Structure 1
Amino acid sequence: MTQTDIDRLASGLLAQTAAFADAVDGADWDAFVPTCPEWRLRVLVGHLGQAPRWAAGIVRGGSADGIPDPHEAMPPQDWRTWLLAGASELVEAVLAVGPDTPVWTLVGPGPASFWLRQATHDTSVHAVDAALPAGVPYALEPDLAADAVTQYLELLSSPAAATLKPAVALLWGAGSIGLRPSEESIEGWVITCTPTGVSWRRGPGSTDVTVTGAVEDLLLVLMRRLPPQRVAIDGDERLFDHWLAHSAL
């Protein structure tokens, strides 16, 4: 990644952490989050406080053992500062070691920038999780939303995907899906579910089903935060439903 890419991810992480904090401020932290139905809002707050700190430890050469349990998190009284400090800690760790420094990642060895990218996009989606029940606006910048789609497809197409999430193997051999952003400046994606895995590429192409919409909506439908009706689906709708049912990471 270039320094511009790193700076963009860093600014995105800090902005979306602040947006998340705004959305949960004054909300009922004991309420379940509709788009994360197994988690109460306070657990989501705990996750976004713990996860970047855990990732920063990995970036600095620490152990990947002991994934923090957000149910055990105890956000301090000044929880907003705590959230923003965690995001800043990860940014600073990546900059300190260098974004290309090899580290452990969820799918094998990778650059330290993996964790900054992962945290930025994870936080963006969780900011939407908080905004939807609160009835407050949310906004994902198109370039970051597009990169989130790309990262999601990179993870799904990795050799480790079916080991991490066995349901992913049910996609193999299912057919092809085109994702077409309505923004002319953003190139689309072609996903091919081969008999041995998931592959993808950027650009146009003939597919069994084509899904069209604003890139923000495409991402949030893929993440199962918005219903499929939010986008236009042309072709084999059952294939896209099958994809949504088995592509969660």
Structure 2
Amino acid sequence: MQQLQIHDLDVERLATGLREETGAFARAVAGLDPHAPVPTCPEWRVRDLVGHIGQAHRWSAELVRTRAAAPVPDPRAAEPGAPREWPEWLRDGADALVAAVVDGGPATPVWTFLDERPAAFWLRRMLADTAVHHADAAGAARVDFAIAPDLAADTISEGLGLIAAAGSANLQPALAELRGDGETLQLRPDDLGAGWLITRTPAGVIWERRTADADVTVSGAVRDLLLVFSRRTDPDDDRITITGDRALLDHWWAHTAF
């Protein structure tokens, strides 16, 4: 299986990326009604989305500091304060996580929901989570979702790492349906070099960061591939091109909600 901690971004870029995406998220929710719904997270209001981000950053910082497991918090229990206080509250949470990882050592083994991993796992996990929820916030605000290509690419790789990790189907049973007999999917970015080649094997999903022929290929800007991969936009979006076995893509889409 693909090793979860392998990625292209160093710890410094993960840290600056987390701060970039947290700031972009804060700008997207500025001026929104805290009680307004979030179309791509229909069970949440804007306040819940804000609460989740700031709370998740603080929760993962505490995991890194203590190296101990802790229950996943309920975003509805978060206290982000008044909307005017959101930018500072969000920034403080991101800074707390960066400090915990840097001060404790990025390679220090810590608890994760899969198994013990280097502390940098949580910096990368929270960057990916924040990037996807930045897209949610942009959608709620009806503004454009903009993200640096390297951050979008690493968010896709991080998500594939979770899907391919040993034990992932124990956490998300639908992922067991992605086992296959060598069927291949390609995510091919128009604005980057290598894409992502995904192969369904009897043991589960494996993937490589390379461009190759596949049974079905999804092409577009890496930002748009991220939105499709994270199910924040439909594969039929006119910015996306699909060639090959559409049924294979639809099956993937139906079993990767997480």
TM-score when scaled to structure 1? 0.95
Whether 2:257 is the aligned partner of 1:248: answer yes
Residue of structure 1 in register with 2:72 after alignment: 67
Deviations 1:17-71 (A, max 9, x none): 1111111111122122111111111111110110011100111124322211101
Structure showing greater relative contact order (alpha-carbon pairs closer than 8 Å, 6 or more residues apart): 2
Whether 2:59 is the aligned partner of 1:54: answer yes
Which aligned pairs between 1:1-249 and structure 2 lie closer than 5 A? 5-77=10-82, 78-173=85-180, 175-183=183-191, 185-230=192-237, 231-249=240-258
Deviations 1:101-144 (A, max 9, x none): 11111221111000000111111111110111212222111111
Deviations 1:182-207 (A, max 9, x none): 02x43111101112211111212231
Aligned alpha-carbon RMSD (Å) = 1.7
Runs of 4+ in 1 over 4 A off after TM superposition: none
Quick one: which amino acid aligns to residue 23 of structure 2? A
Structure 2 gap segments, 5+ residues each: 1-5
Structure 1 gap segments, 5+ residues each: none
Deviations 1:87-111 (A, max 9, x none): 0000011000111111111221111
Please state how far the C-alpha of 1:8 moved relative to its aligned partner. Answer: 1.0
Rounded to whole Å, the distance in 2 between the matches of 1:54 and 1:62 is: 12
> Aligned with 1:39: secondary structure?
strand
| Kept in 2: contact 1:146–1:186 (CA 8 A) | no
Rounded to whole Å, the distance in 1 between the matches of 2:139 and 2:200 is: 32
